[in-house]
Every structure is written in structure tokens, then in C-alpha cells.
Amino acid sequence: MSTTTDHASLASSDDEAAPRNTVIVELTVNGERRRAEVPGRQLFSDFIRTDCGLTGTHTGCDDGRCGACTLHVDGQPMKPCMMFTAQADGCQVATVESLGTPEQLSPLQAAFKKHHGLQCGYCTPGMLMSAQALLERNPSPTEDDVRKAITGNICRCTGYQNIVDSILAAAADARGETYTPPSGAGAHPAESDGWVGKGIERPTDNRLLTGYGHYTADDLPVGTLYTAVLRSPHAHARIVRVDTSKALAMDGVDYVLTGQDAKDTWNPFPPTINLGYVLNESWPLAVDKAVYQGEPIAAVAARDPYLAEDALAAIEVEYEILTPITTIEQSLEGSVKVYDDWDSNIGMDVAFEDGDVDGAFARAAHVVRHSFHHHRYTAAPMEARVTLASYDRGSGDLRIDMSTQSAHQCRTLFSQILGMPEARIQVVVKDVGGGFGIKLQIYDDVLPVMLSLKTGKPVIWVETREENFLSGIHARDYDADLECAFDEDGRILALTGDWIGDAGCDGTNRAHGIGQIHVALFYGSGNYKVPAYRARGRGVVTNKAPYGPYRGYGKDVANQSIERLMDVAAKQIGLEPNELRRRNFIQPGEFPYEILTGPIYDSGNYPELLRMAEEAMGHVNFKARQEAALAEGIYLGLGYAMMLEPAGGSVPNSVFNANETATLRMMPEGDFLLLTGMQDIGQGITTAYAQIIADEMNVDPSDVKVICGDTDKVPYGLGAWSSRGGAFGMSSSAEAARALMEKLRKIAAHMLELDPFDLEPRHGGFDGPDGKSIDYRQIGNGVHLWPGPIATVPKGVMANLEETYTWQSKMVRWIPTDKGSLSIYTNHSSGCFAAEVEVDVETGQTTVTRIYAAHDCGKVVNPTIVDGQVHGGIAQGIGAILNEELRYDEQGNLLNTSLWTYMVPQATDVPRIGVGHLESPSPFTTLGTKGMGEGGPVGTPAAVMNAVENALAPLGVELTETPLSPDRMLKMIAAGRATS
Amino acid sequence: MRPAELRYTRALTTEDLGQLLARGDATPMAGGQGLMRDLRNRSMVVSTLVDISRLTELAYVKEDGDALEIGAVTTLAAVAADGHVAARCAALATAAARVADVQIRNRGTVGGNVCGSWLPSTWSNDVGVVLAACDGSLLVQNGAEVRTLNAREFLAARSNPLAARDFIRALRFPLAAGSAYVRLSRRWADASIGSAAAFVDRVDGRLRVGLAVGRISERPLALDSVARTIEADGIDSPTVGEACAAATSSVEFADSVQADAEYRRSVLPVIVTRSVREAMTAGGIQ
């Protein structure tokens, strides 16, 4: 006999003749008893999110790897995406919503807030549930215990360090002790008197920590249909026939969209970047030919996601398989073409030359060559792409909620592709679960929009993790050939670089990645003085996924090239690598410094950054440690890489353009609303911008609400990419505030019957002589209500309480010189990254044991946020160089389409990260700030490679391939041993 | 993706389970932490799923004679946390603790883990490597009959060798003075790219070694001839590497995105040597 809650047991279902595919469950969720009849196949994660409405439980993969959905079942952490609802029958379940509330955080949640243990917040609920379970079973965990306990939870933003510190701090606090995180060595910015410069906590964290975040998939209108996408199983195939009739006839299926249907109704993808590139004509779904594995063939809209996926199996497609191109060599050879109407497979071919390159090589004392192939990888944000489209048949308006970094460009692109008036389209961005560059296009995001237009109903597409790997944006994957001429003292005489990027099927329309090789060409000389330079950059198409931006966008290519070259050259010349760097640095007194290709470096102190890194790593003692270890058979290595982070790109003829607008509005009650076209994607700009406004307006950050991501609310702005927030977003916000301050001063003076120059700004208002004083609230009330503008606003001042400022960079120069030099970046943040590694030469495994970044991003607004960006970037850089590799086989099949096989770092893969700061303010921005956030993945890979090469120097290994996977390492070690 | 249509049932007793399996279309699922990946990507479609995770009679750890007997639905977390397992069979404790992550070990079971070899999406199997190294066995029930299967034969099968109405009751691990499990992976919580389990003893003054490797090929592989070489020549002998090569000359080394076949061939003697050394240290054997 079954017990009352064991409805699914044998006895209760045995007497039914027909198979019954639903199950009755009774369970307790966060203390509340629930009874429901659910499909036997329903995932428990769907029950929690949809049936219970507990959307704090997030899903970031489909196969139990990411841990974002972690909750407690009978007190133990489990992953409900790997459970059926029926399996929770009779259980006690606790989700993140059981821990604390936005008003009253639990001690663990409060520790996460205090230690900045979250950025985008998407992994946070699962992370908290794993941490809570750990603390319940072990009140005194070590750092290693903590890291191992959260290996089932992947965070892509924080680099884990602040999460680990949060958990250790909560544990210490519960024991009545105080936890002090081991601080990174080096200088930190001095504590500031004002709000700018203070590492204040982020007010947004309260909701993100408690399940009150609003990610795109969290709030669905009644009757929302779900999208499932049928994708090409072949990398290159002609589409002979698509028959959707059986799928369309299935219960619950509303519409099945094909490429032909979309082509008959709408326009192809508009180009998103074109600096003399070859463009393709492509459609949201393949029409005649599929050009990569994973290209959409048909899209289903159905009543629930299970039915939508059921329908995919009923769509019949006949393919004629064509030979795929999967390598740069095959693409250049050109006998097979990706686009039949192209002359070749070359989409971009750009060159630059200035100075006497050939003469320099002829007279050089040393000529150093280095070539390498760099693998393909991707951002893998924990929230994949999500788009919810709601077409209102009554008004003709289209609202698109999406997880994007750039709402306005998306709106324009939607308008162009759909042929709809742009004002009819509203793009709304709520919380974004990470982006890192791959959420800057409207590629597959247009599918639910089209389905909504076809059905007249709201339609959501929640990208699966497999889809994100197949058709989300890929980056890197290039060949580099470098040659450098040095004089006898090791000074660079000339540099040549030739880069070819594998742009997959598209680097201009579906996504805009091809420009990253162009950026590499501009910045090939890195942090060094190079008097003669010749470079060529090509992008070729192949039958792989589209090529797009990912944290770095070519700065990583340039950096990896020059910083690897420095170490290789040092060995050949017979100098210490850092001595070679020092001899070639642009010196602190030489800024602003224009390099040959046109960019103007704003400020910096490279020798000091290198000195800081050497000091932090114990450089002077390392050789002795290394030799002692080697005597024990342990291979230790120490490596450095300078980092140059051009930020605030302003690219003509592209969605990466050159203006940003902020509107600052004072409310009648005297508080402030900042409207910015920048986008918070978890990096924390709403906190940092509130600090800026607070200082400019003499109020507290809590008096400022920052709005972004709604095209019906904020002025046209370009969003979060190219680390442009530090230049464009901060400057436009500060300038808008200064303009509003002047307006308020005039109104205040008029109301107090004083001269504006007699007023002194003070907290929340102005003071005048003779004890006269006025609060912002009195001004706001006075202008809008009591008595009103006629009596309070002076002549010549418009009767409103807002100012709008559009900031443009003065440093940008789009007219090329005759040699082709241009200036498209405003800021140049810099750094020196250093890594210590241990290599197991028997197993090929590399462990990064220490890492440090000396970092200079000009004026720092919120040091806690800046450190968090550096940590997260370093973790991505470690993952990139050791483990993350998108691998295609010869048929063009992508071999890793899961977070089990695409190996992003876990907490146990990232060592303690030290960060030191220099502040070299930019003369080109309002506050001296510079864009930052991309430095980690730009500088870390070369530092780790240089460290590994240093460790393996006794074996004569030169690293020419990436990533440093154990199998590759064993081969390179064997080759080194054979030749040395 | 999400699973295709299926019928969910639950067995609360082994008697229930026997009856459900007798119907012929039922697939048992314990923790489901491997199976669910295949159900979700629809590489596996089942008509009726029998949830056996609540068969409490099959969740136990006990020492029986000179072997440790673990009930098939004992979770990996329970085995990893069991003080008796840690004290008597370190290799098993380590293997159980190294499967994936905390959440997965809280649901995943030892019985499920040894069946991992036959799932379409994975051939993970850590517990099976330990079971093969100690030359253990499985207690398999069919109707009222319980029989013992040799674990090595069971684990080497190309497809699941259980008959239609069979289910695994327990795993038996013969004990030795020292044991160890060495596991290489790209990340800590990740698929193994080569693991080795070693059991060592002194019997009448002579070294006795039991040895198996996992994720070298697609099935756990007992290395008896290597074990005999180590017994005869000692762990430091160059003949150990030669024995590894000889023992695997006809083995098809596995290729995966985590590591290629050549890598697995290269690290085989390394993990074998490390596991035996560690087991000898653990067992106080020089």
C-alpha cells in the first residue's frame, strides 16, 4: 500500500488500464504545502519556476552542470533540472526565497552583499543554496572546503574570490569571529572624501540575492507561447525540402516558421559593421543553404516548451550535404565557398604600413619570429540569450523584452529587418545574466519576434545551453605571424604582424566579430615604442558559428601577440623578459602618446605597473625557489604580460558608434533620476553612476535612481560594450549633472533673490549670505507645484528640472591619413599581469597557483566594483588559456555543446587573485575615468603562457598552440625534450 | 531540451520493483543524474520510468566477512561521508567523493554510477573502477532469486548485461590493507580523463596488488598482468611501464574533448604507479 503522499507508487496507479502520464504530487515548498497534478515528464525546475512562481531559481544549462537552479530537497542541495517533479513528492523543499527578504537579508546574503560576492546575480541563488548547505553541515570550513563545495555552481562574473570570501565571512560571523580576507599586494586607491572613489555596496544586490531579480524569462504575460528551434545538423548543406505540416497539426502548436516564410515576409539581416568588408545576405532562418551546424531551419511556437520540442521531431527536412570548410587553410584555398555569390572566402583584408620596416630589418642586430594558432572560444554567460516578444494587434506596437547589452541598436536592427516604424518598437532590458559581448546582436533573438508577429501572441525564446554553443557568438580562432627587429640593446626597430581570423560563417551581419582582427592590426605594438610597423589583418569565412565580440575584441589578439613575442625575443636576445619590456616601454612622461596607427594613448605608467607586479610576485626570490623546486622534480614558472585595454570604441559605419547621452532629472521632491543609454549587465554601473551624481549634486547615492535599458524611457544610447561606460557613460552623466547644477543654481538664486554667484552648494541644496538657504525639495516644489514656474524660474531658463548631455570623444579621428591611421578609442587602460604556475610534466596538467594584476584605469569610481571586474576577467582568462576550447571536427560538427565539455572555470580552478591599482587619470574624460573590465581576458592568457614556458625552460618548450590542455602539453613537452 | 513524454512510477519495495520490471517496458532510475542528461536531450526515450531512489532497503553500508557491501541505491554522498568506508576502503571513499559535485552526489547512487558506462551521453564510471580493482561483485536480483555477478565481467560488457527483470541489490568490495583512487580531470568537478584504483596487501610476506583503470577506454579495465609485474618486480621497476603497454596493446584508447587517445596512453603508467604508491602508503606497506 502506498502512503498518502506516494501517489506515484505502484499501488495507486496499477489499476488503471490506460497509461497515465500525469502524477499527483504533494510537497512543501518554503513551508507552504502544495498539491498539484503534473506531467510525469515535468522537470522539477519548471514546477518551481512556473507552477510555484519562484523565479529566483534560475536555469543556466540543461544537463546539471551550472548549478544556478540549486535548491534544497529535504535539507540537501540538489539540482531540480536533473529531477522530475514527481521525485519531489512528499519532500520538504527550500528555495532561495526561503533565506531572507530584500528588506531583511539573511546573514549569508548580507555577507555576499558586503563582499561583492555577486555581479549579474544569475548564479547567485544557486550559489547561496550550496553555501547555506555547506555552513549547515560544516560551521568552520576552510577556503578549500568552500571552493570544493561550490564546484557544482558556475559563476562567470566574479572569479569566485569574493564569493569564497563572502561564505568564509558568514561562517566566521556565525562563530562570533571576524573574517579578514587576505588582501592582494600592492597599492589601492586612497580612500576618498566624496562618493567617487568609495567601494560602496550595490543597492541592487538586495533583490538579486533574494530571488526578486527580474530576468527576461521571469515575468511572462498570460498565454505566452514557447519557441523551439530546429537547427541544421550539417555544417554545409543545401536545403532541398522543408515540410512542417505534421508539426503544425500537433496539439498545442500555433505556428512553424521556415526560412522561406520569413524571407517572403521580412528583410535579410542588415549589416552591423562595415569598414570596407565583404557583406553577405543572410536570413534569420536558412533559406536555400545552411552554412554552419546549428543554423536555424524552422522555429516552432507552442503552448508549452515540452510541446514545442515534441514538434521539432515532426518537421521533415531533406538536405543535400556539401563539403564543409573548417579551417583557415581550406578557406583561403577557396575551392569550396561559403557564399556562392562571393569571389572568395575572404571577408576582410586590411593593411597598414608606416616607417622604414625593410631598412630596420636589414640593419637589425636581432630578428625574432613567433607564430602561433589561437583556439576558438566563447563567453558562455550563465544566462543564455532570452527574448520575449509581445505584438499588440490592437495598437500595432511591438514590445521586445530581451537580455541584451544594447537596447537601442537592437531596436533599430529589429526595425530594419521587420520593415516596421522604429517608434512602434520598444525594447526593454531588465536584469541581464551576464553578456561579455555575446549579447550585442539580434541574431536568433528575432525568431520569437517573428513568431509573435505571425501569431499575434506573446512568444518567448529561452535559449538552451546547446543552442548557445552552436549559434551563440564565437571569438578568437586566429593565426598570428609576427616578426620583430631589435637593435643590439634590445630596442625595437620594427614590427610586422599578420593576423588571419576564422570568422565562421559571418562576422558582419548575424554578428560583428570580423572587426576584432582589424583592432588587432591597430594595436599590434602594445605598450611599446615601435618606430616602423607593417601589418595585415584578414578575416575569412568558414562553416562554423558566427564570429562576434567577446571581452577583448581584438585587444586580446594584439596583446597575446606582442606579449608572447617579448618573452620569445628575450630568450633569443639573452635578456630577462621584463628588462626587454622596460627598454621598450612608452615612458610616463610621453603621454599623450600617438602610435603610428593613429590611436592616442591618454596616460599611464608602465614601468611602475611592472615594478608593482614584480614586487607582489616576489620576483627577486623566485629563481631560487624555482631551482629548489626543480631539484625535487617540481616545475614552477613565473610569467608576466603587460596589458593594454583600448576602451570606449567609436567605430564608423557600425553599431559600435561614438556618442552617449544622459538625462538627469530632479523630481519635484528633490531626489534624482538618471536616464542613461548605458546598460547594467551585472557590472554595477547603476551603483557607480549614482556615486557620480551624488558627488556632483551633493546628495547621497540613495537619492539617485538610475534607469537604463528601456528604449521608451531613456535617450538614444549605445549600451555596454568596449568598456565604454568609463568614458562615455560616466562623462555624459557627470556633464548632465553639471548642467543641471547650473540650472538649479539659477533657479535657487532667483527664488532667494540673490546672485547665482553668491550661492554655495551644500548637501541637498544651496546656502547664500545672511543665513539664506534653500533645499532641492523647495526648488522642486517651487518650480512644479507651489507656487509654480512663473514665480520661481528666471527669464532665459527653461521651466523644467532636467538636463540632457550627449558626450562625444574628442580623441576620435575617422578621417584616415594617407597611410591609413585612425583613432577610434578614447581611453587606454593598462596593467601588468603576473602568474605563477606549477606544471606536472607527467600528466601535462597546469595549475595556476598565484595571480596578480597591477591595474591602471585612471580615476576609480568604485574600487570594489573595479576589483570584481578584474577578478572575473582573470578567471575568464585562466579558463580561456587552459580549458575553454570550441572544437569542430572535420565535418564541421561542434564537439562541445554542453558545460560538461566546454570547460569554464570552477571555484577550484582559480587561485587567489591580488590586485594593485595605479591611478593615471585620463585627460580626455570629464572625471579622468577610463573604461575597464576587459583587461582580465586580455592580459591573463599571455601571462599564464609565459609562466608555463618559464616553467618548462629546462625542457626547451616553446608554446605555439593553445589552449594549454594536458594532451597538447604532453605533446609539446615531448617535442621540446626531443629537440633540446 | 526537455524529456519526451513518459510515464512515471515509483517502487517503494523490491517486491514492487520486481512486479514493475515484469511488465517489460519499465526502466529503473535511481538518482537519475546521468540518465536525466540522456532523457533531456532525448538520446534516450523511455515509456515507463520506475523511480527506485526510495528503496530504503537498498540504501546501506555494511561489512560482511572480508568485504564491504554497499546497497545499490546508497547515494554517492552517503558513501563519501561514511567513516567506515573511509577507514576500510579509501579507494571507494575517494571515488564516491570525486563524482561530479555535491548536488549530484546527493542524488546519484553507487548502483547508478556503475551503470554509467552504458548511457549514451557519458561513460563515466568511478565506482566501477574501484569494484574492478578489488575484483568485487554485484548482487543481482530477479524475482525472488538473488545471484552474484563477477564485477569485472559485468563492467566490461559492451551493453548493459542485466536481463529484463534484473536489478542490482548491492555491490561487494573485498577489502585489502591499503587502497587508493587516483583521478585526473581537467577541472576538479569534471569528467575523468584517466583514473586508477589500487588495492594492496601483504599475504605471507608477499605483495598482492589489485589494479584497474577507468576512462582510458570506454569501460573500466582490470590490469591483472600489470598487478603481477608490480608484485614480482616492485612499483619502482621500469618493467611496470612495459607491462602497462603490453596489457593495453589491443585496447582502443578513448578520444574525447577533454583529452585525446594518445594522452590516455601516455598517462596510464603514471596513474597506475601513483595509485599503487598511495595505496601502499595508506596500507603501511613498503
Is residue A857 one of the residues assigned to a domain?
A: yes
Give yes or no: residues A408 and A300 share one domain: yes
Give pLDDT, residue B224. 98
Give yes or no: residues B93 and B188 share one domain: no
Residues of chain A contacting B9 with CB distance shorter than 8 Å: 8-10, 13
> What residue of A is the nearest CA neighbor of B184?
A843
Give yes or no: residues A562 and A491 share one domain: yes
A10/B19 touch (CB, cutoff 8 Å), yes or no: yes
Instruction: Tell me how close the Cα of A939 comes to any Cα of chain B, in angstroms.
Output: 22
CATH of residue A722: 3.30.365.10
Give yes or no: residues B185 and B168 share one domain: no
Give yes or no: residues B222 and B245 share one domain: yes
Spell out, as residue ranges, where chain A has pLDDT lower than 70: 1-20, 183-191
Q: Residue A17 class from Cβ within 10 Å (0-12 exposed, 13-18 middle, 19+ buried)?
A: exposed
Is residue A373 one of the residues assigned to a domain?
A: no
Instruction: Tell me how close the Cα of A78 comes to any Cα of chain B, in angstroms.
Output: 4
Give yes or no: residues B133 and B217 share one domain: no
Is residue B121 one of the residues assigned to a domain?
A: yes
Give chain A's length. 980
Q: Which domain holds residue B248?
A: 178-282
Q: Is the minimum CB–CB distance between B277 and chain A shorter than 8 Å?
A: no
Q: Which residues of A841-855 are buried (b: 16+ CB within 10 A; e: fewer)?
A: bbbbbbebebbbbbb
Q: Is the minimum CB–CB distance between A143 and chain B shorter than 8 Å?
A: no
Is residue B46 one of the residues assigned to a domain?
A: no
Show the 3-state SS of B9-63. Answer: EECCCHHHHHHHHHCCCEEEECCCCCHHHHHHCCCCCCCEEEECCCCHHHCCEEE
Partner-chain residue, chosen from A23, A82, A466, that has the shortest CB–CB distance to B32? A82
CATH of residue A67: 3.10.20.30
Instruction: Tell me how close the Cα of B29 comes to any Cα of chain A, in angstroms.
Output: 11
Task: Please name which of A775, A756, A778, A759 lies closest in space to residue A767, comparing C-alpha atoms.
Answer: A759
- Residues A594 and A830: beta-carbon distance below 8 Å: no
Residues of chain B contacting A895 with CB distance shorter than 8 Å: 257
Q: Is the minimum CB–CB distance between A885 and chain B shorter than 8 Å?
A: yes
Give yes or no: residues A822 and A933 share one domain: yes
Give yes or no: residues A168 and A311 share one domain: no
Mapped onto helix, strand or coil, the DSSP state of residue A943 is helix
Give yes or no: residues B66 and B86 share one domain: yes
Quickly count: other Cβ atoms within 10 Å of residue A310's Cβ.
22
Mutate to test the interface with A, among B5, B6, B10 (most CBs of A within 10 A): B10
Give yes or no: residues B162 and B228 share one domain: no
> What residue of B is the nearest CA neighbor of A87?
B51
Identify residue A668 by its one-letter amino acid code.
Answer: P
Give yes or no: residues A616 and A485 share one domain: yes
Residues of chain B contacting A885 with CB distance shorter than 8 Å: 257
Q: Which of residues 198-227 of B touch A (CB under 8 A)?
A: none
A133/B102 touch (CB, cutoff 8 Å), yes or no: yes
Cell numbers found for residue A812? 576620435
Cell numbers found for residue A825? 578609442
B103/A70 touch (CB, cutoff 8 Å), yes or no: yes
B101/A152 touch (CB, cutoff 8 Å), yes or no: yes
CATH of residue B125: 3.30.465.10
Last residue of a domain, one of B174, B195, B229: B174
Mutate to test the interface with A, among B257, B262, B274, B275 (most CBs of A within 10 A): B257
Residues of chain B contacting A908 with CB distance shorter than 8 Å: 187-189
Give yes or no: residues B61 and B163 share one domain: yes
Give pLDDT, residue A192. 75
Cell numbers found for residue B181? 583512487
- Residues A649 and A825: beta-carbon distance below 8 Å: yes
Q: Which pLDDT band, with edges at 50, 70 and 90, does B121 fall under?
A: confident
- Residues A938 and A644: beta-carbon distance below 8 Å: yes
Give yes or no: residues B91 and B150 share one domain: yes
A71 HSE (CA, 13 A, CB side): 33
Give pLDDT, residue A956. 93
Last residue of a domain, one of A175, A197, A213: A213
For chain B, helix, strand, coil in percent to 5 are: 35, 25, 35
| Position B22 pLDDT exceeds 80 | yes
Q: Is the minimum CB–CB distance between A75 and chain B shorter than 8 Å?
A: no
Q: Is the minimum CB–CB distance between B56 and chain A shorter than 8 Å?
A: no
Give yes or no: residues B77 and B163 share one domain: yes
Give pLDDT, residue A190. 64
Task: Please name which of B96, B8, B3 lies closest in space to residue B52, comparing C-alpha atoms.
Answer: B8
Is residue A332 one of the residues assigned to a domain?
A: no
Mutate to test the interface with B, among A78, A89, A847, A887 (most CBs of B within 10 A): A78
Quickly count: other Cβ atoms within 10 Å of residue A818's Cβ.
6
Last residue of a domain, one of B142, B174, B206: B174
DSSP H helices in A753-804: 776-784, 789-792
**CA A116 – CA A111 distance, rounded (Å):** 8
Give whole-number Cα distances, A786 to A459, A765, A777, in Å: 47, 18, 11
Average pLDDT over residues B30-52: 95
Give pLDDT, residue A189. 60
The gap between the terminal CA atoms of chain B, to the nearest Å, is 53
Instruction: Tell me how close the Cα of B261 comes to any Cα of chain A, in angstroms.
Output: 9
CATH of residue A156: 1.10.150.120
Q: Is the minimum CB–CB distance between B129 and chain A shorter than 8 Å?
A: no
Give yes or no: residues B58 and B154 share one domain: yes
Give pLDDT, residue A4. 35
B186/A151 touch (CB, cutoff 8 Å), yes or no: no
Q: Which pLDDT band, with edges at 50, 70 and 90, does B24 fall under?
A: confident
Give yes or no: residues A190 and A235 share one domain: no
Give pLDDT, residue A183. 67
Give yes or no: residues A427 and A551 share one domain: no
Give yes or no: residues A865 and A928 share one domain: yes
- Residues B237 and B229: beta-carbon distance below 8 Å: yes
Mutate to test the interface with B, among A843, A886, A908 (most CBs of B within 10 A): A843
Is residue B232 one of the residues assigned to a domain?
A: yes
Is residue A333 one of the residues assigned to a domain?
A: no
Quickly count: other Cβ atoms within 10 Å of residue A308's Cβ.
26
CATH of residue A273: 3.90.1170.50
Q: How many domains does chain B have?
A: 2
Q: How many domains does chain A have?
A: 5
Give yes or no: residues A480 and A422 share one domain: no
Partner-chain residue, chosen from A87, A130, A908, that has the shortest CB–CB distance to B51? A87
Give yes or no: residues B125 and B225 share one domain: no
**CA A455 – CA A261 distance, rounded (Å):** 14
Is residue B219 one of the residues assigned to a domain?
A: yes
A151/B258 touch (CB, cutoff 8 Å), yes or no: no
- Residues A35 and A22: beta-carbon distance below 8 Å: no
Give yes or no: residues A428 and A545 share one domain: no
∠ CA A69-A75-A79, nearest 5°, is: 20
Is residue B41 one of the residues assigned to a domain?
A: no
Give yes or no: residues A156 and A266 share one domain: no
Mutate to test the interface with B, among A967, A970, A971 (most CBs of B within 10 A): A967
Instruction: Tell me how close the Cα of A40 comes to any Cα of chain B, in angstroms.
Output: 5
Is residue B15 one of the residues assigned to a domain?
A: no
Tell me the angle at which helices A863-882 and A161-174 cross, rounded to the nearest 10 degrees: 120
Give pLDDT, residue A2. 34
Q: Is the minimum CB–CB distance between A148 and chain B shorter than 8 Å?
A: yes
CATH of residue B244: 3.30.390.50
- Residues A443 and A284: beta-carbon distance below 8 Å: yes
B184/A149 touch (CB, cutoff 8 Å), yes or no: no
Residues of chain B contacting A21 with CB distance shorter than 8 Å: 5-7
- Residues A96 and A118: beta-carbon distance below 8 Å: no
Last residue of a domain, one of B149, B174, B199: B174
A149/B102 touch (CB, cutoff 8 Å), yes or no: yes
Average pLDDT over residues B259-282: 98
Is residue A204 one of the residues assigned to a domain?
A: yes
Instruction: Tell me how close the Cα of A8 comes to any Cα of chain B, in angstroms.
Output: 5
Give pLDDT, residue B124. 82
Instruction: Tell me how close the Cα of A968 comes to any Cα of chain B, in angstroms.
Output: 8
What ipTM goes with this model? 0.97
DSSP H helices in A533-604: 555-573, 577-584
State how beta strands A765-767 and A773-775 pair: antiparallel
Residues of chain B contacting A67 with CB distance shorter than 8 Å: 101, 103
- Per residue in A823-833, pLDDT (tens digit) is 999 999 999 99
Is residue A314 one of the residues assigned to a domain?
A: yes
Q: Which domain holds residue A120?
A: 107-213
- Supply the Cα-derived Rg of chain A in whole angstroms: 29
A86/B100 touch (CB, cutoff 8 Å), yes or no: no
Is residue B99 one of the residues assigned to a domain?
A: yes
Residues of chain A contacting B36 with CB distance shorter than 8 Å: 63-64, 82-83
Residues of chain A contacting B48 with CB distance shorter than 8 Å: 19
Is residue B22 one of the residues assigned to a domain?
A: no
B104/A64 touch (CB, cutoff 8 Å), yes or no: yes
Last residue of a domain, one of A73, A98, A123: A98
Is residue A348 one of the residues assigned to a domain?
A: no
Give yes or no: residues A113 and A232 share one domain: no
